[in-house]
Every structure is written in C-alpha cells, then in structure tokens.
C-alpha cells in the first residue's frame, strides 16, 4: 500500500485504450483466484492462466473472481476482453491514482474505490485501490496486492453463515463495498484520536513539533476527503438508478452504506473544523508564551532600571554633592530603592502580572 | 446518558443483520412497557416477556410499546421479528452512534434521533438515542435507559386531556418527536447563556481558562450540529412523502416541527458565528494586554535610560571635567534630568500612553 | 418593543394547541379595532368584546381587524375560533419569538414577521412581532402593543387617496407587508451609518471601546439576518403560489416587495463583510500602535545603551587608564558619543523610523 | 454621476404608485430625444413636450426614445402613461438606488442597470442608473444625466454601418445592454491595475496609507459585485424566456452578453481573493518590519548590556579589588569586552540576524 | 504563449460582428493545414489560400483543418463564412482572453479552451487559447501559434494506429480535447511539486522571498481555476446533450474526459487549501522567529540588569559605605552576582527557554 498517491502521471497523447499500468509494481506475480457458489455448492480455485476463469462468465452459479496485482497488463486485458469490459474501464482499473467512480454499462457496473488502513507504525494512513465489476452472476475484483479485508466474507461464504449464500452477485457486491466502507471508520477513529491527543498536547505546551503534526493532520484530512467525498455520489448512483443487475431487495442495503458514507464525510468535515481549531490553539499558545516572556522582561526591567539610575546618581563625581557626606546617605539611598521596588511589586500584583 | 458519542466502533466485516449492541450498557434489565388506548379505553402494562406485547400488533386500539435498554439484543430481535422490522432497522436501533435518520418501509416508518439535555452539574450537554417505529395502530420506542421526557404525554393520555386520545398513532408519533425537538430549545438557550457569559468575561479579562471554554463551546456546537442538522431532512421527509401511515390532517403538525428544527439550526449557526467572534475577542484581548505591558516597559525605559546615561557621564573619572568642579554642577545635572523627564511625560501624554 | 428576542422558552411537553403567550406582557388591555370599507363606505369601530368583530367575517366589504396586545390568550382564542384559524396558527401568533414564516390554509393565509425600528436613544434596533391573516374579504393583524407604522395606510383609507379603496383585501395585505418591509430600509441605513462612523473612528485611533462597538454591530447584523432572511421565502411563496385569496393583478406588487427584501438582504450581507473588514482594521490599528511603541523603545535604547557603555568605561577605577589623564580625554569621549548618536540617527532616518 | 449610492431612502408608507424621484437632481432640464429608423429612413428629433414623442408608439419604424434627467416626475409619468407602463415600473425608473432587475409585462420588458465608469481624476468608480423599456417597435431609455456611452451606436445607426438598421428594436435593445456591459471591462481592468500596483507597493513597504487603499479597494469590489451580480439573472432571463418581443435570432447575442457578465463576475471574485491576499501581505509586511525593529533592539542590547556590566564591575569602589591595580588590568578588561562582542557577532551571524 | 492573460480589452461600442483580434500577434503568417482521412485514405495538405480548404467542407472523408495564428482576421473571416460559422463564434475565436465555453449551433459545435504548459525556465505556467469547431465530417482548430501537443494524434492518424482512423470526426474531436485536458495533469503535478518544496523550505526557515513565492503560487491557482472550472460545464454539456454531430458510442469517452476535469479541479482546490496552509506556516514561522529573538533579549536583559544594578550600588561615592571597606567585599559582591545568575539560569531552564 502506498502512503502517498498524489502524482497523477497520465500517459498524455496516448489513446484511451492504451493499457499502461500507472502506479508502482507491488507484487511479483498477478494472482487470479475464483470463488464459485450458490445455495448448495461452494468451490475455490486458483487460476494459473487468465483463461482458466473464463468459464465462470456464463455459469449459473455466482462467481467472484479476485485479481491481486495490476502490473501485468496483458492478463488484465485478456480477462477484460473475455468479460466484454469497455476499454476505458480497463484503463481505469490500471490507473491506481483514479478518484472513486462508478460507470454503468449495458451488461456490467464498474466501481473503483480505495481501501484505507493505518500504517503498521501507526503514524499514517495507507490506501490501496480496489475495483469491482458486477456482471450477471459474476463479480471481478482488482486489488493492487495480495492480502485484504475480505477474509470474513470468504469465511462466511465457505461456512454458509448468514444469508450470503442464498443471495445473488448483487448482494456479494454490496457486502464487498460495505466492508470497504466500514473499514473507513477505523481511519476516522484514528484521526479523531490523533487530533484529540494533539489538542491536549498543545493546550499544555505548543512546540514547533506540534506545528508539523497539525500540518500533517490537515493533509491527511484533505486526502481522506478526496477519497470519501466522491463515494457519496457513487453509492447514491447504485441506489437510485434501478438496474437489471441489482435486485430491488438489495436497495435498502446500499442505502445503509450510503448513510455510513455520509457519516464518514460528516466526521471528516468535523475533524477539519477541529484541525483549524487546533491551529488556532497553537497560535494562541505561542502568543501566550511570548506574553509571558515579555512580562518577565518588563517586570525585571521596570524594577531595576530606576534603581540603577539612583545608583548611577550617587556614582557621579561632582565635588559638591551633599548627600554623599551624610552619615546615613547610603542607608537612605537603599531605603528609597527598596521603596521603589515595593511600589512596583504592588503595581504588578494589582495588574495580576505576578 | 453519555457525554461523548464520538467513537463509531463498527463491527467491520460482519454481515448487516448481525445484531450487536454498539454503545455502553446503561441499564441492568430491558424493560418493556405498553400503553394501549383509544377514545374510550386506556390501559398500562409492563411486559415480563417480549412476547407479552405481541398481541398489540394487530389490535384496533393505538398501542405505544416503550423499550428501555438496548443491551439485550435477543429481546430486541424477538420484538423486531414479530413486528416485521427490517434487519437493518434493528441494527440501527442498537447502534447508538447513528446519526438521525428516517427509513420508510412498506408497513412501518423508522426514525432515530437524539434526546438532548443539560448534565446535572450544568457543565455539559448529554444526549441519549431514541428510536421510534410507527406502524399501523402501534408505535415502538427504543430508549437507552429508563427515565425520559415523555411523562407529560403519558399523563395527558391517561387523563384524556386535549385531543390526543381522539387521534391515531400518527398523532402520538408527532407528539413524541415534537417533545424531543422542543427539548432542544433548552439546550440552545443553555448554549446562548454560556456564550454570553463567556463573552462578558473575556471582554473584562481574557485568561488561559477562557481559551479552554471557547474550545469546549465550539466542540459542543459542532456536535450539536451533527445531531440537529440531519433532522431537517428527516422531518421534511415525513411531511412531504404522502404516506398511508400518516393522515393528511397530521401534516401541518409536522410542518410545525420542521419550523422548530429550522429555528434550532439557525440558532446553532448563529452561535457558531458568535463563538468565532468570541475567539476574536479573546485574541484581541490578549494582544491588548501585551500592548499594555510593552507600553509600560517603553515608558520606564525611555525615561530612565537617558537619565542613567547622564549619571554615567558624570561618573567618569577623567581628570579634566570642568562641570565636576562647578559649584552647582550637581544641581544643574538634576535640573537637566528633571527636564528630560518632563519632556518625556508630556510626549507620552500627547500620545495617550499615560 | 423588546431589544432582545433571543430566548425561545417553549412550553415543552404541552400539546400544540395549548395557548400560552410566550413573551413579555406589553400592554394592559387587549385592544380590538376594525376598519371596514369598500369603494363607497368607510367605518371605524373599537370592539369592546371580541365577539363585536365577528360580524365582519362574512360581510361583503373589506374588513381590517387589528389586535394590539397578545397576553390575553382567551380573546385571541375566541377570535381564532370564530375565523376558523388552525390551532397552530394561533399558537404561532402568541409566540413572539417565532421566526418569520408563511402558512397557507384552505381559507386563509397566515404570515408572521417583525417590525423593525431604531430605539429612541438611537443606540439599538428594536423589533416587534406582527402577524397578518388574510381571509376572504378580511385581514386580521396581531401586534404586541399599540402604536404602529400603519397610520399612513389608515389615513389613505379614510381619505380615499390612491387606489387602495378600489382594491380588495389582498391589496391591503400587500400594503401592510410593504410598509413593514420599507421600514427595514431605515434600519439598514442606520446600520450603514454606524458602520461608516465606526470605520472612520478606528482608522484614526482604535480603542478598547471600538472593539465593543464592532462586537455589537456584528450581533445586530446576525440578528437582523435572522429576521430578514426567512422573509425572502415567505414573500416568494405568496408571489408564486397562485391562490384564490390573491388576485393575479396583485402579483407584481408582491414581486416588488420581494425585490426590496433581496436588496435588504444584500445590504446586510455587505454590512457583514464591512464588519469583518472593520475588525481587520481594528486589529491592524492595534498592531500599528504597538509597532510605534516598539520603535520608540528601540530608538531610545539603541542610542543610549552604547553611550552609557562608553560612560561606564571611563567610570572604571583602573589605576592605569591613560585616556583619563589626557587633557582633552573628556572632550574626545563626548565627541565619540555624539558621533555614535549621529550615525544612529542617520540609520533610523534611512530606515524611515524617524 | 454619483460616487456613492448607498443610501436607499424609501418613501415608507406611501403607496407604490406615488412618483417621487429618489436621488440627487443632476440636470436642469429633462431632455427627450428620439431616433427613428428602419432599413430605409432615419430621423432624429428633440421633443419639446413629452407628448411630442407619443406618435412613435404605434409607428412601423423602430424608435429609440432617450430621456436624460429623472427629476421631473411629471414628464416621466406622462410618457409612462402613454406607453402603458406599470406604475411600479415608473417608480423603479425614478429610484436610482435600485439594484439591477428585469420585469416582464404583457407588452413590454423593463430592465434597469448601472453604467460604470472611472472618475475623471482616476481615483474611483462612478455609476449612473440607466433603464431600458423594450416595447413593440420602440425602446425607451432613461438616464440620470446627459452624455453617455451610446454615441457609437447612434453613429452606426445614422451612417447605416453594419446590420443594425436591418434589425428590429430587440437588436437595438441588445446593442444598448451589450455596450453597457462591455464598458464594465474598463472598470475591472482598472481594478486589476489598482490591485496590482497596490500589491507591488506593499511588497516593497507597507504603510498606513496602503491600509486605507486596501480598504477602499475592498469596498469598491463589494459595491461592484452588488451591481454586476444581479445582472447575471437579468440577462439569463431575457435569453431563456422565449418572448414575443425578442426574435429567436437575437437569442445568441444575449447569450454572448451573458458570457461577458459571467466573465466580469469571475474577475470580481478573483479580485476579491486578491484583495484578501493583499491584506495578508500588508499584515505580514507590518509584522516583518516589527521583527526587524526587535532584532536591532536585541542585537544592540545583548551586545552592550554585558559590556556595561563589566564596566560597572570595575567602576565599583571596593578597597580591595586586585584587578584595579594590575598594570594591564584596563587592557585585559577591553580584551574581554572585545571577545564578548566577537562571540555575540558570530552568534548573530549564525542565526542570520546580521 | 503568454504568461499573463488578465487584460480583457474589449472593443466597446463596436458591433458584435466586428472582427478584431484581441491579443498579441504571435506568428508572422497564418498557416492553414488540412489532414484528410478515412479508414482507407490519408492525406496532408498545406493551404496557401484559405479557399484551398473549402472543398473539405462537404467531402465524405473526415477533415481536420488546423489554423495557426489569429492575427489575420480576413483569413479567419473567409473560412468562417464558408463554413457557415456564426459571427459571434468567429469573434470568440479571435478574442484570446475568453474563458472556456461551448456553443451549440444547428450545424456545428464550438468549443474554446486553453492549452497549458510549464514555461521553459520552469518558473511559471504558460497558456495558449485553442478553439475547436466540430461540423459534419470536419473539425476546424484555431491556435495562437505553431507547435502544439497534438503530434501524437497526427502520428497515429498517419500510421493508422488504434481505432482513430475507423471513427468519425466526433472521435477526433474527443481525442483533441482529451489531449488538452490530459496535459493539465502536468501542470497540477508541477504545482504540487512547487507547493511541496515551498512548504519544506518554510518549515526550515521562512524568508521574505518565500512570501513572494506563496503569493505567486496563490495567483497561479486562481488563474488555473478560472481556466479549468468552466471546463466542467463545457464537457458536461457535450456529454449530456444528445447531438446529431456526436455519436452515442463516443459518449463514454467524453464522460472519461469529464472525470479527469473533475480530478483536476479537485487537485486545484486541494492545492488552494495547501497554499493557505503554507501561508499559515509562514506566519507561524515568522512569529516563532520573533519569539526566539524576544527570548534571547529577555534572558540577557533579566540576567544582566540586576547584576549591573549591584555593580552600580558599589560604584556609589557615599562616604559611609561599610561594605566597601570589608576585606572580602569585592568577592562577596561577585558571589552574590554569580548566585543571581545561577538562579536565573535555573529559572530559564525550568521554563524551557534555554
């Protein structure tokens, strides 16, 4: 998974159908695996050749073809051609910098979105592009690398838990998207935690380091929003456009996913407000620290400058300075200086600077 | 009631129908009570078993089934199944971190929202999730714990005050929602009070403490908005979508609730403006305080630094310094110093720094 | 008229029809007066009893029933019942904290809005709620207290000036709303004046007092917006919804009112921009003042600190200090000090600090 | 032309048809002139009496009646009555503080907008209200004073240049509006120039004067936006609403005007962004200047305060101070002081403060 | 290519059809070249006279007429007339300051947009206006100067790569627009790079220079947005409005272009957020630097001012100062001064100022 997907190096000038994998190569070998099931039967298969999965296109059973690794464009192209995918769809699958989108065709629905996770050292958010194509009785999923968050679905399919085996490909489609979206909550929780700790830290003491952390938090939120915001429209499109591929009874489930996305977007917006608020706190903290410094300077300076002046007076070398000859002159000078100090201290106390 | 509902721990990967109570357990025992009435009869009943309330589903009379406590998912599931609730509805009832929403089904309307209140020590806002399901002649309400704000409705039902006993379940549905929404006004009044006091306090003297209070106020407003903003759409949906379950004559009442929600949202937006405004005040106050400090420093320093310089001059040990031998040298030096002081004071008076 | 209408104390838990006057009692006695007219006849009447005005409901002539004072809920209720007003309408009339709204019923249109004015000492904006109900051939107006801005309408009715006597109740309805809205221009002019003076004042010298005035201005604008913003939709609703009660030829007049409201809202938005702009000016002014203070300190300190150092050098008591014994040592010291001062002054001149 | 059109003194309480000229009187005499033309004939005429232009209402030729001066309401009223204008239209013509608007009637279209220009001393933007009424074969234009920007149109009409003589009144209507809108580009160019110069000036040195200029720029932009923003809807209305008075072939021309207005509004928004950006620059410049002041103070003070302390030490009068009696004590003291100075200078160099 | 296209010098008062080239002359000679092809044939031709390309209007083959240079309005006008272009279209082609727009006519679609690139010294963004007109079987493209980004399309046409030769003029139209839009990604990548480097630089040390760079970045983003934002609507219009000139099968391709534009606009918005964020960083950095300066001043001053006072005390010339005569007076004085210094240092350590 990449921590930064900013660059959008497009293959300018090339035709739309030119299949080039945009992104870094992440696995050695493209792995194609199939899970095929209906109410009664269940089978798993790993395809050595892309063509090994062609049979599942027209089978009566529901087939989930999962492809890990996107760098071998030839494999992808072969599968794409067999399953009648539009050339632009295949291009979008291969471009891992694409924003989430949905494309509805005559015989399939194409969706691309991002799986999100926390990096292993817990310091950042990682994301991986995943694309789903829903056809009649089959789903093809494309992932950048092996290892995903769908194991619980596989387990439930295998062990026939719940209603998943009784339902069609559209329900599996929902379950896959729902799993991806549910995982976003971990990320928003993580962000909330980070932001809360940061706030607490800054309220105690704002440091240069916290500035970097605020900056990082802001960027994460901006990137997150770019990932989750378009999803709203994507899922809303599935839900609203009545479609041959999606049964009416699956509709409420997509509405549920939609609600979750709204909630995630809400949280992200809230966190953005929080981040500005934390920046304000930081600035105020810095400014308060400066005030403290200025106060100390002012207290020391306003007490000692007049005293030093008095000492300076009686350090003058005029021949005729009567006070110098007084017996208690020195003590009187001290007295005056102590008096001035007291007055100053009382003044500062009154001003609540001490 | 919980003061903080930020965490949205979802049961990722589990199927949508998996009934798990998300939230802290707040009562020991799930309590199911029924109020059953029509124009003529009225009865109250506490159900030992969930099944004790099943009879009310098809009765001619209006039945209000109230369930306090959400942790016993089995009880909820039993009731849900009997009343033909969608599995996602039951899931939403159990997830107390859900944002307010409405879901319309063939035979029931599901609404979930938050009851708001002021915490007992008057320092914060507490909220509790409440869900209402309106069916043909029955309403089921789910609350997180015992004790609510509906006692006046119960009393009016019992004593047959007003028109409530003459109307159907949809009118009761309205009255329940209206009561929840009306209670929000206490919270917005509370927020207005807090913000007004804070402003007054900061205009007098901005302290580090006030910064924390502004921060808290802002957070409360952000959270409030998350609760009240979606409500607009919820009530608007009830009002607009003509529905078999809601009689036309009840429409204007929901429009009235809608107006109140608009007003609450308005107030929250206004308070958000106010909060920014108070933050500005705080910053300005801090900056003004700093100016005062700087002014004092400048006054003291600009008066005494030149004087000290003069004293320094006549503290020099040159052999040939004629002034030192003048008879009134010392007095002239004092004279010059007093003159400088006077000029400075006049200058500061003119600049209005004194 | 109340200067502050923030509190929205609702009678939570009570049924919608419960008639309670929300707001302070402003007149001793509820006064009901009727103006009845058509092209030919004109009569005025003050009703001792509410029932005295019942006859005007079904008369052929146009009747304007004006009610001053809202605290006697019984009187209001009686009239409401006779004129077939919805219970929620009467509730809204009595709640003087309501935001402007329109409600269309089968046989009447209900509108509630605020009359605005400048307080007598010219320091604030006062407002009073006024509600109009337009029926077939009659209008009922509810005001919080006696004395209003409609005297010119009454005069024109009485003296048969213009076309008002030739037109129906819908034209009177327009004239009443138009008069209220036109009065808003006085308030926006007042606000513009205040803001302009404030800006001028702050450009000259920003004081702590100006901060309070900016804060007040901002609040006034926020409150104004809450009053005028919903009006847009209110008048637009009258204009658009073709209605039995409003003749087509009156439409352009309401469109004219609509334009005025847009203009008022525009002005308020502009003034909000201005208020932020003035706040910026204030902050910049404060910051400039501080710079001036710092500059003075720096000039004095950087000139005298080196001089004092030189004086300090020759105040040392080393036995072997050749300069002390030079004949012109003292004069050379002075020379050096004057030189340093000159260099400093030239430097400051170049930096434009002097 | 007035430089400030803020005040919106309305004639509150008066009926809508009461004709009162709101604005300052700008010409002595209302001047009514007519240009009458078709493909073949062309004539100009100055009407002594309003009634002199009545004949052009029903003539077959296209007539452009131009009225300079709005203070003689009687003249305006006579013309208005003859041409069947709605009383509200005439009122809007006379109120020179009106925002741009369009009003479509059965037999005429009314448009009011502002001509913009740069004041003669190039320091501000001036505006004058102009209203156009398009009827069947005639256009009436109302201007506040003589002298306008339509001379090139008159010339082209007279000399039969281009297609204008071949087209109807709707095309003339377009050309008039287009000329007004095209003139706005001069104003946006002027604003862009001012803002660019201001930015350059502030990047060099931010002065109190620049603050006033930013403030003025902001106000100009706010006022401009109030003038150009409503125009979008105005022209869009002409373009969209198919109308008997406007031929279909003229549609694309109005679409072109619409595009220009969009572009003008875009530029104004951009300039508003720029203005905030310049304000930021100003604030940063002021803050940078202050930092420079502080740095100088710090450098001088941190170098000389320790030196003065050392001088102070050896200015003490203790009997037993061995250093005072050293032969090279004085030179050693100087050595130490020079050393301290060097260390400081190196430190400041490293910190890049020197 | 011009780096600044702000000025919008319009030819005010002239009629819409007056052909005047607005913009600087960029090539000596207008060059008209034609590529003509279908599945089987391919030919290139450079037209000496505008009329040389007239034959391609009604040919069966697809013809791409490219015109480099806009200053010779006569040539443009001739071509425009022959191809039945609306006079406003030709005006828009010639005005190189136009914002991107689409205009649909009976027999042709007109689009104008900007090609973007990085200037050769890599310090700015350059743009050139390009207009496309799609007719039946022909496309006319207008560019400001020779040399463009379409060479790969020409090569593919010539060498018959891909499907481009099998498709009609609408597909070529798509490919041209797509190539322009794809090039924008280079610019957004460039902007992202610049902004990232700037952020890094400012986090290390904020200089006056960085302020200029932020300002430049902001302006570039504002200008970019003006170019890319209207494009959204332009492409969306092509995609949505079913049109005789665009085959249904080309629709998805335009949808793909639309997605790219959305992504570009997203990136620009993100970069605008980043730019504000960088400005915040700059301000904070400046403020932190100032704090450091103040801290140093305070540390030096608060340590040495009291010490200098003590030295001043014992520099007084009172006759009766017992300490002066103590044997270890001098050493005690030093002791006290060292003690004070230690206390101060510990205090500063505790405050984390050292």
Taking CB atoms and an 8 Å limit, are E222 and D270 in contact across chains?
yes
Burial of A161 (0-12, 13-18, 19+ CB in 10 A): middle
Give the mean pLDDT of A231-240: 88
Q: Does B88 touch chain A (CB under 8 A)?
A: yes
The alpha carbon of residue B313 is apart from the nearest alpha carbon of chain A, in Å, by 8
* pLDDT surpasses 60 at A269: yes
From the list C11, C300, C311, the residue facing B312 with the nearest CB is: C311
* pLDDT surpasses 50 at B3: no
* pLDDT surpasses 60 at A9: no
Give the mean pLDDT of B203-223: 88
* pLDDT surpasses 60 at B69: yes
Burial of C155 (0-12, 13-18, 19+ CB in 10 A): exposed
Q: Which fold has domain B292-350?
A: Methane Monooxygenase Hydroxylase; Chain G, domain 1 (1.20.58)
The alpha carbon of residue E208 is apart from the nearest alpha carbon of chain D, in Å, by 8
Both tokens assigned to C87: 């219970």
Give the max Cα distance, chain E.
Answer: 120
What's the confidence (pLDDT) of residue B7? 41
Q: Does C52 touch chain D (CB under 8 A)?
A: no
Query: CA D133, CA B315: separation in Å to the nearest integer?
Result: 91
Residues 1-30 of A with CB under 8 A from E: 6-18
* pLDDT surpasses 60 at B4: no
Taking CB atoms and an 8 Å limit, are D226 and C266 in contact across chains?
yes
Q: Does E99 touch chain D (CB under 8 A)?
A: yes
Taking CB atoms and an 8 Å limit, are B86 and A252 in contact across chains?
yes
**How far, in Å, are B334, D109, D133, D255, D262 from residue D101 at the CA level?**
77, 11, 12, 17, 16
Q: Report the residue of chain D nearest E11, measured CA to CA.
A: D182
* pLDDT surpasses 50 at A149: yes
Q: Are D287 and D206 in contact (CB under 8 A)?
A: no
- pLDDT, one tens digit per residue, over C146-178 is 878 898 899 989 988 878 888 889 999 999 999
Q: Does B263 touch chain C (CB under 8 A)?
A: yes
Chain E partners (3+ C-beta pairs within 8 A): A, D
* pLDDT surpasses 90 at A195: yes
- pLDDT, one tens digit per residue, over E276-305 is 889 989 988 888 888 888 889 999 999 999
Both tokens assigned to E132: 């496309």
* D317 contacts in chain E (CB < 8 Å): 314-317, 321, 324
* C205 contacts in chain B (CB < 8 Å): 352
Q: Does C315 touch chain B (CB under 8 A)?
A: yes
Burial of E54 (0-12, 13-18, 19+ CB in 10 A): middle
- pLDDT, one tens digit per residue, over A327-352 is 899 999 999 999 999 999 999 999 88
The H or E element that residue D134 is part of is strand D125-134
Q: Does B345 touch chain C (CB under 8 A)?
A: no
Give the mean pLDDT of D220-242: 87
Task: Please name the residue that has the structure tokens 């909550």.
Answer: A185
Taking CB atoms and an 8 Å limit, are C185 and D8 in contact across chains?
yes
Taking CB atoms and an 8 Å limit, are A16 and E281 in contact across chains?
no
Chain B partners (3+ C-beta pairs within 8 A): A, C
Task: Please name the residue that has the structure tokens 């994507």.
Answer: A234
Give the mean pLDDT of D288-299: 88
Adjacent-strand bridge partners of E110? E103, E133
Q: Report the residue of chain C nearest B199, measured CA to CA.
A: C215
Least confident of B338-342, C68-72, D68-72, E17-21: E17-21
The alpha carbon of residue D9 is apart from the nearest alpha carbon of chain C, in Å, by 7
Tell me the three-class secondary structure of D160-218, residue by residue: CCCCHHHCCHHHHHHHHHHHHHHHHHHHHHHHHHHHHHHHHHHHHCCCHHHHHHHHHHH
Its ipTM equals 0.75
Q: Are B258 and B232 in contact (CB under 8 A)?
A: yes
Taking CB atoms and an 8 Å limit, are C290 and D290 in contact across chains?
yes
Q: Does E321 touch chain A (CB under 8 A)?
A: yes
* pLDDT surpasses 60 at D211: yes
Q: Report the residue of chain D nearest C157, measured CA to CA.
A: D15
Confidence of residue A58 (pLDDT cuts 50, 70, 90): confident
From the list A15, A304, A314, the residue facing E306 with the nearest CB is: A304
Confidence of residue E22 (pLDDT cuts 50, 70, 90): low
% chain D with pLDDT above 90: 42
- pLDDT, one tens digit per residue, over B152-161 is 899 989 988 8
What's the confidence (pLDDT) of residue D14? 57
Query: CA B53, CA C138: separation in Å to the nearest integer?
Result: 53
Taking CB atoms and an 8 Å limit, are B330 and A353 in contact across chains?
no
Q: Does A350 touch chain B (CB under 8 A)?
A: no
Neighbours of A67 (CB within 10 A): 23
What's the confidence (pLDDT) of residue C204? 86
Taking CB atoms and an 8 Å limit, are C293 and B290 in contact across chains?
no
Confidence of residue D305 (pLDDT cuts 50, 70, 90): very high
% chain B with pLDDT above 70: 92
Chains C, D: CB contacts under 8 A, how many? Answer: 152
Query: Does residue C122 or residue E5 have the better pLDDT?
Result: C122
- pLDDT, one tens digit per residue, over B160-194 is 887 888 888 999 999 999 999 999 999 999 999 99
- pLDDT, one tens digit per residue, over E299-339 is 999 999 999 999 999 999 998 888 899 989 999 999 999 99
Q: Report the residue of chain C nearest D219, measured CA to CA.
A: C274
Least confident of A16-20, A300-304, E203-207: A16-20
* B298 contacts in chain C (CB < 8 Å): 293-294, 296-297
* pLDDT surpasses 80 at A17: no
Taking CB atoms and an 8 Å limit, are A314 and E319 in contact across chains?
no
From the list A162, A313, A315, the residue facing B15 with the nearest CB is: A162
Confidence of residue A1 (pLDDT cuts 50, 70, 90): very low
The alpha carbon of residue A104 is apart from the nearest alpha carbon of chain E, in Å, by 10
The alpha carbon of residue C212 is apart from the nearest alpha carbon of chain D, in Å, by 21
From the list C182, C305, C317, the residue facing D304 with the nearest CB is: C305
Give the mean pLDDT of C11-15: 53
Give the mean pLDDT of B127-150: 90
Question: Where in chain C are the domains?
Answer: 3-284, 292-350
Residues 280-299 of C with CB under 8 A from B: 282-283, 286-287, 289-290, 293-294, 296-297
Chains A, E: CB contacts under 8 A, how many? Answer: 152
Average of per-residue pLDDT values in chain D:
86
* pLDDT surpasses 60 at B11: no
From the list A10, A282, A290, the residue facing E182 with the nearest CB is: A10
Query: Does residue D10 or residue E135 have the better pLDDT?
Result: E135
What pTM was computed for the model? 0.81
Class of CATH domain C3-284:
alpha beta
| Contacts for D84 with CB less than 8 Å, ≥ 6 apart | D107, D108
Taking CB atoms and an 8 Å limit, are E156 and A15 in contact across chains?
yes
Taking CB atoms and an 8 Å limit, are E293 and D298 in contact across chains?
yes
Q: Report the residue of chain D nearest C190, measured CA to CA.
A: D7
Q: What is the DSSP letter of E243?
A: B
Taking CB atoms and an 8 Å limit, are B163 and C17 in contact across chains?
yes
Length of chain D: 354
Neighbours of E120 (CB within 10 A): 8
Write the DSSP assignment of E257-276 as a string of letters: HHHHHHHHHHHHHHHHHHHH
Taking CB atoms and an 8 Å limit, are E316 and A314 in contact across chains?
yes
Q: Does D216 touch chain C (CB under 8 A)?
A: no
Tell me the three-class secondary structure of chain B, residue by residue: CECCCCCCCCCCCCCCCCCCCECCCCCCCCEEEEEEECCCCEEEEEECCHHHHHHHHCCCCEEEEEEECCCCHHHHHHHHHHCCCCHHHHHHHHECCCCCEEEECCCCEEEEEEEEEECCCCCCEEEEEEEEEECCCEEEEEECCCCCCCHHHHHHHHHCCCCHHHCCHHHHHHHHHHHHHHHHHHHHHHHHHHHHHHHHHHHHCCCHHHHHHHHHHHHHHHHHHHHHHHHHHHHHHHHHCCECCECHHHHHHHHHHHHHHHHHHHHHHHHHHHHHHHHHHHHHHHHHHHHHHHHHHHHHHHHHHHHHHHHHHCCCCCCCCHHHHCCCHHHHHHHHHHHHHHHHHHHHHHCCCC
| Contacts for C159 with CB less than 8 Å, ≥ 6 apart | none
Confidence of residue E257 (pLDDT cuts 50, 70, 90): very high
* A326 contacts in chain E (CB < 8 Å): 318, 320
Q: Does D230 touch chain E (CB under 8 A)?
A: no
Q: Does E259 touch chain A (CB under 8 A)?
A: yes
Neighbour order of strands in the sheet with E138-143: E42-47, E31-37, E62-68, E138-143, E125-134, E109-118, E101-104
Q: Mutate one of B297, B299, B301, B324 to test the A interface: name it (highest A CB count within 10 A).
A: B297
Neighbours of D22 (CB within 10 A): 16
Q: Does B345 touch chain A (CB under 8 A)?
A: no
* B267 contacts in chain C (CB < 8 Å): 8
From the list B6, B103, B311, the residue facing A309 with the nearest CB is: B311
Least confident of A22-26, D155-159, E239-243: A22-26
Report the relative pairing of strands A138-143 and A62-68 from DSSP bridges.
Answer: parallel
Alpha helix (H) residue ranges in E160-250: 169-204, 208-240
Both tokens assigned to A304: 């000692």
Query: CA B56, CA B34: separation in Å to the nearest integer?
Result: 9
% chain A with pLDDT above 90: 41
The alpha carbon of residue B15 is apart from the nearest alpha carbon of chain C, in Å, by 40
* D252 contacts in chain E (CB < 8 Å): 86, 88, 103
Taking CB atoms and an 8 Å limit, are A283 and E287 in contact across chains?
yes
């Amino acid at each position: 998974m990449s921590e930064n997907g900013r660059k959008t190096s497009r293959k300018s000038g090339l035709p739309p159908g030119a299949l080039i994998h945009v992104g870094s190569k992440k696995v050695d070998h493209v792995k194609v695996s199939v899970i095929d099931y209906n109410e009664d039967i269940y089978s798993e298969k790993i395809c050595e050749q892309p063509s090994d999965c062609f049979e599942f296109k027209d089978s009566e059973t529901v087939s989930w073809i999962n492809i890990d690794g996107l760098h071998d464009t030839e494999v992808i192209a072969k599968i794409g051609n067999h399953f009648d995918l539009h050339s632009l769809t295949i291009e979008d699958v291969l471009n891992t910098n694409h924003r989430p989108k949905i494309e509805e065709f005559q015989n399939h629905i194409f969706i691309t979105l991002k799986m999100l996770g926390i990096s292993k050292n817990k310091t950042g958010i990682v994301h991986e592009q995943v694309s789903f194509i829903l056809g009649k009785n089959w789903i093809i999923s494309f992932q950048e690398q092996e290892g995903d968050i769908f194991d619980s679905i596989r387990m439930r399919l295998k062990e026939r838990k719940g209603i998943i085996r009784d339902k069609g490909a559209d329900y599996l489609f929902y379950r896959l998207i729902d799993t991806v979206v549910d995982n976003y909550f971990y990320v928003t929780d993580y962000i909330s935690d980070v932001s809360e700790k940061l706030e607490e830290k800054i309220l105690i003491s704002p440091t240069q380091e916290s500035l970097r952390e605020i900056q990082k938090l802001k960027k994460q939120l901006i990137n997150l929003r770019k990932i989750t915001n378009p999803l709203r429209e994507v899922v809303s499109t599935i839900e609203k456009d009545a479609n041959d591929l999606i049964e009416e009874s699956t509709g409420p489930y997509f509405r549920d996913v939609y609600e979750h996305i709204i909630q995630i977007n809400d949280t992200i917006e809230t966190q953005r407000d929080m981040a500005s608020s934390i920046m304000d706190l930081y600035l105020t903290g810095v400014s308060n620290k400066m005030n403290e410094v200025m106060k100390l300077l002012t207290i020391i300076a306003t007490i000692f400058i007049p005293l030093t002046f008095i000492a300076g007076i009686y350090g003058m070398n005029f021949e005729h300075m009567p006070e110098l000859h007084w017996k208690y002159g020195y003590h009187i000078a001290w007295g005056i200086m102590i008096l001035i100090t007291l007055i100053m201290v009382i003044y500062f106390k009154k001003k609540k600077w001490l």
